[in-house]
Amino acid sequence: MTDIRTKRVYEQADAADGFRVLVDRVWPRGMTKEQVRADLWLKSIAPSTALRQWFGHDRSKWEEFRRRFWVELDAQPEAVAQLLEAAAKGRLTLLFSARDGECNQAVVLRDYLLSRSRQQTPS
């Protein structure tokens, strides 16, 4: 079973996080590399600047943001494959800096990766 979690980058890093990937296009404000403790910063997997600005963390746009971001993720097969490979090896934690822990790109990305992981797993 694929274990993909999300975590706000401002929370304390933990060994139980497994492989930590920062999935923001912009570096988290006020954080050093040592504080973030990301194993990988994968900017290319983040929503485009235009999509991020359009969404603006407006919950009324959440479902449309999810749909549009999935379209963008479909266009990033190499980055998606990289994350799926990491998830196949153990726990993967997607780090994000948004204040909203329920409606952010890491949540959408986790759902997308889990969906792709199920498609690859034989029944």
Helices marked H in 27-122 — which ranges? 33-36, 49-55, 62-74, 77-89, 105-120
Widest CA span of the chain, in angstroms?
45
CA distances from 64 to 46, 55, 67, 101, 103 (A): 16, 9, 5, 18, 12
Distance CA 28, CA 112 (A): 23
Dump pLDDT digits (tens) for 34-67: 999 999 999 999 999 999 999 999 999 999 999 9
Bridge-partner residues for 44, per DSSP?
none
Burial of 1 (0-12, 13-18, 19+ CB in 10 A): exposed
- 123 — pLDDT class (breaks 50, 70, 90): very low
Quote the pLDDT of residue 121.
57
**Model pTM?**
0.93
Distance CA 6, CA 18 (A): 11
Distance CA 32, CA 114 (A): 30
